A and B are shown apart, each in its own frame.
Chain A
């Protein structure tokens, strides 16, 4: 099973608060919780006009590729992946429940600081994900009253 299946508004707020605190401490620009299937769960910070769906899909794909590399080296997983650019950098850190912490940062900070605080926030995020998973296990399935079938084609 990939990631988690649902997030309540409370879980979402709690995760976003942790991400916001992490950004304040690390002075990174943007941080997000995504799953390895490419779904964006929660985010904080500013990426300008970047399409966050694409960012999540590419980050998940990139991490998945390194997971295969790790397996071939006899590692169960690389716990973090760092892409260094000229002005912008990305750090991806593995979380529990098939999730990732993706952080974009620039020249205001450095990889050491971002990695240090990323390691700290992953513990709290893992707890939050565990809570979300437990809620999901007992939650009633989403069933909507409206009959979308009477509307026009789903995508047109």
Chain B
């Protein structure tokens, strides 16, 4: 839940990067940490195993001056993607304001992606939340791999609903699309504090006002034959 401190003129917002195991959530934060100027960012903290797999969460704090008179502090978290850490994912979602759902573009990871999206919705319910309330954007990551699923397939699978979420192609390892994804999420969150909200972001979905309206809650659909891929 967003926290407004009128004394220090600060708004704190929590964005969680969610997605299947090894889809690139931590890589997003590592890349952001490299790309963003020193004055705006805190230290990147990773609670990971010896094999660099996220055990609890990764955390990165970013400060911006985008709202007049207020400092906005975005607290970016990742969840552990591995199936066994579901309780931990529920804990990290506590108090979430916005979500970046990272989709692995590998064909063979499609079932994992779909399962993770369903798991996200279940865990939001555990926290008395839903995708109807929480703004989210999609990131189609690993677009540079040779056997990447086509974007229209990913859009059909994860974004096939009346109010479509903004979606971004990315290669988190090289930085492509990473900042764009975060910017879209940040603007969706900040829009509710402006008298003249206008998401003004460019993604694959139409960048109009409807983008600031949380999409209806639906499960992603995988065409038969690919679900078990």
Contact = CB atoms under 8 A, between A and B. Distances in A.
Contact of B186 (A6, A9, A144, A154): A154
A17 interface: no
B179 A156 contact: yes
Contact of B3 (A4, A8, A54, A148): A4
B195 A143 contact: yes
Q: Give the interface size class of chain A.
A: 35 or more
Contact of B4 (A6, A36, A51, A54): A6
A3 B3 contact: yes
A149 interface: yes
A64 B191 CA distance: 30
- Which secondary structure dominates where chain B touches chain A? mixed
B94 A2 contact: yes
Interface residues of B, number: 57
Interface string A34-55: 0111111100000000010110
Interface in A132-156: 141-149, 151, 153-156
A8 B7 contact: yes
A5 B4 contact: yes
Contact of B195 (A39, A65, A144): A144
B175 interface: no
Contacts of B197: 149
A35 B95 contact: yes
Given A2-B95, A61-B47, A154-B64, A41 B5 contact: yes
Contacts of B61: 51, 53-54, 57
A70 interface: no
A147 B4 contact: no
A128 interface: no
A6 B91 contact: no
Contacts of B62: 155
A36 B162 CA distance: 34
B1 A5 contact: yes
B7 A13 contact: yes
Nearest to B12: A39
A126 interface: no
Given A35-B3, A154-B190, 11 more contacts: A6-B4, A8-B6, A38-B95, A54-B59, A58-B59, A64-B91, A144-B195, A147-B196, A148-B190, A149-B197, A155-B40
22 contacts: A4-B3, A7-B5, A7-B6, A8-B6, A9-B7, A36-B94, A37-B14, A37-B96, A38-B77, A40-B12, A53-B59, A57-B75, A57-B77, A61-B47, A61-B56, A142-B4, A142-B193, A143-B194, A148-B67, A149-B194, A154-B66, A154-B187
Interface of B: 1-8, 11-12, 14, 36, 40, 42-43, 45, 47, 56-57, 59, 61-62, 64, 66-70, 72-75, 77, 87-88, 91-92, 94-96, 128, 179, 182-183, 186-187, 190-200
Interface of A: 1-9, 12-13, 35-41, 51, 53-54, 57-58, 60-61, 64-65, 68, 98, 141-149, 151, 153-156
